[in-house]
Chain A
Amino acid sequence: MAFGGYPPPEHLLGDLGMEAELTTESSARVRTRVTPQILSPGGGVRAGVLATLVDIVGGALAARVLRPDWMATADLTVQLVGPVLGPCVEARGSVLRRGRTTLVIEALVVGVDEDGNDLMIDGRTPDPVAWASMTFAVLPAQNPASSVQMAAELPMRWAFSGGGLDLPILEALPLTVLDGAAGRVSVPVRPYLHNSFQAIQGGVIALVAEAAGAEALGAAQGGDGSTVVVTDLQIAYLALGKVGPIVTEARVLAPGPDGRAGAVVELRDAGADGRLTTVVNVTAEPAALFSRAAS
């Protein structure tokens, strides 16, 4: 299914094979299969992929709740809790508050089976994979007749289908590391990565920030982007990245206990006079620590 032709046939969301469901007027869920292409060096699903799931579940929910108005993502946060234990991972979103100018959504990310059912391990449901939140700015409809058409009946289900990823997701973007220690990476703006405004999609921005932060934080500890695992993303979306390439820089904060450390990653649209599009606070921990804690 596509909303007004979005996403196009060749698109990252299709290759992630997401399945979505609006379950009620104020809740929705989106899931994808866990494959090696979306895993971090620590063995869990990348925080940026989880952010992409959250972005889709939040966007679907916001489109439903706000219709005929539209929305722009203002911020998105993801905090990893534990590893994914199921064959699939699912983001479950619900509305916290719908105001005149903003909509706030909360999402829990959990491991599930192929049918989206909760896992049971040793007689109990495992801990969630992550907690997430989103804020949307409400954009009043200029022409309600042209708003996204949605079926009235619930539940409403659809899927983004594609050929699947045959490369690690960062290579599929493709993301280029320019200067790891400085957190400088680059990614093109192309239809494969577009959102419905023909700008780079919010989940892709999370992936780019995750990679840039990991490179800088890994280098600060004598390694590289593969030696740390990003556990927290706090993303403030300031402007659309429509021209590209999107380039990043990172500023590393003082390290904390157990090698946990943070960085601030700035994303700029190099083709639009270096316009600042996004600021992301990134927290990571050593991959060895993440793996040990998860085992």
Chain B
Amino acid sequence: MTTPPSASSGVGPDAGQEVDRRRHVSDYFRLERWEVPAADGGSPSTVFGRAPIDAHQRGAGGGFRTGGLLTSLDSLGGMTSGLAALPQWIVTTSLMATVSELAHVGPLRLRADVLRKGRTSVVTTLEVFDEGADDKQVAAATMTCAVLDANGMSFEFPRPLILAMPELQPDPLAPEEFFCIEPGEGLVTRLRLEDQLRNPWGILHGGAVAMLADEAACRATVAARGGGIGPDGVAATDLVLHYLRPVKVGPVEARCQVLGTRGGRSVVRVAIHDIGADDRMVTMASVTVLAI
């Protein structure tokens, strides 16, 4: 099913909490999501999503910037994996994405399918199609989640679960501003851990980590190349994220090492640390950055 059933709104695990949903990470990219149960009634559901590409969310490649796309993939994949794991819940441990096309027309349609549900992990595959460009597939990703003990928490959802598309905000914030990424340049980029960036469990949203890795890797590439970048700047394409530990305190610092550059392609290692938590490493990422 590639069109959402008519529904006004859905209920997520954060329902009832004092969160201004207009400023919540899951809603910033205006991703609508809808669950389609498996025909056999026993297998995990497929979950679809659709998101417009608002002007302020376009990157140097002309389309949805990769950090934003990964935020949407993290949200969709998390919902899919979480539903598959009920009554337990999940936390993302790795996200591997390849973004082949950077000049999207939009809207983008996303699809998530569970590949394997085990006792301790759920593996989900994600696909992204550009509906405005003949439905071309423009990205693919694989997400792995660890299954957690719910610790007495219960998750009540109307099934199938449907989350409506949030309204476009007037005067929307640019991604760097929304994600509290401090202005700067060079090999180190810092993010302030504001409450709107926390997920319902109080830790930094995985999508915010992806956006930080994207921005930090692009800044590091510009610095390392000494200005020898493309006319339209640089953009992240392939990303690998290993979420090692939850980010609880902040501020969060992304420390980059440009491993090398060939032609217009650079590979950047990004080590992300929670400074307020004894500076422990919380995420290891590798980002491919292209000069556009």
Contact = CB atoms under 8 A, between A and B. Distances in A.
Interface string A283-294: 101000110111
A264 B237 CA distance: 15
Which of A75, A82, A256, A276: most chain B Cβ within 10 A? A256
A13 to B, nearest CB: 25
A294 B260 CA distance: 11
B242 A236 contact: no
Interface string B194-238: 000000000000000000000000000000000000000000011
Contact of B100 (A75, A108, A131, A255): A255
B137 A75 contact: no
B142 A81 contact: no
B63 to A, nearest CB: 10
A293 B290 CA distance: 13
Contacts of A67: none
Contact of B130 (A127, A135, A234, A254): A254
B140 interface: yes
B102 A75 contact: no
A104 B146 CA distance: 13
A133 interface: yes
Given A137-B121, A234-B96, A253-B138, A131 B269 contact: yes
A55 interface: no
B26 interface: no
A131 B286 contact: yes
A197 B168 CA distance: 53
A68 interface: no
Contact of A102 (B93, B100, B130, B265): B93
Chain A interface bracket (under 10, 10 to 19, 20 to 34, 35 or more): 35 or more
A261 B101 CA distance: 8
B100 A133 contact: no
Task: Summarize B's interface: helix, strand, loop or mixed.
Answer: strand
A258 interface: yes
Nearest to B115: A238
Nearest to A108: B259
Contacts of A133: 240, 242, 284, 286
Contact of A260 (B100, B123, B139, B242): B100
A128 interface: yes
A261 B100 CA distance: 5
Contacts of B98: 232, 234, 253, 262, 281-283
B133 interface: yes
A289 B94 CA distance: 30
A236 B142 CA distance: 7
B221 to A, nearest CB: 13
Nearest to B287: A79
B242 A104 contact: yes
A190 interface: no
Contacts of A261: 100
Contacts of A102: 93, 121, 146
Contact of A79 (B93, B101, B120, B288): B288
30 contacts: A75-B142, A77-B240, A79-B267, A80-B267, A96-B244, A96-B281, A97-B242, A97-B244, A101-B120, A127-B259, A131-B267, A133-B240, A135-B94, A135-B144, A135-B242, A137-B120, A232-B238, A236-B142, A239-B116, A254-B130, A254-B136, A260-B290, A262-B100, A262-B139, A276-B115, A279-B125, A281-B96, A281-B97, A282-B98, A293-B262
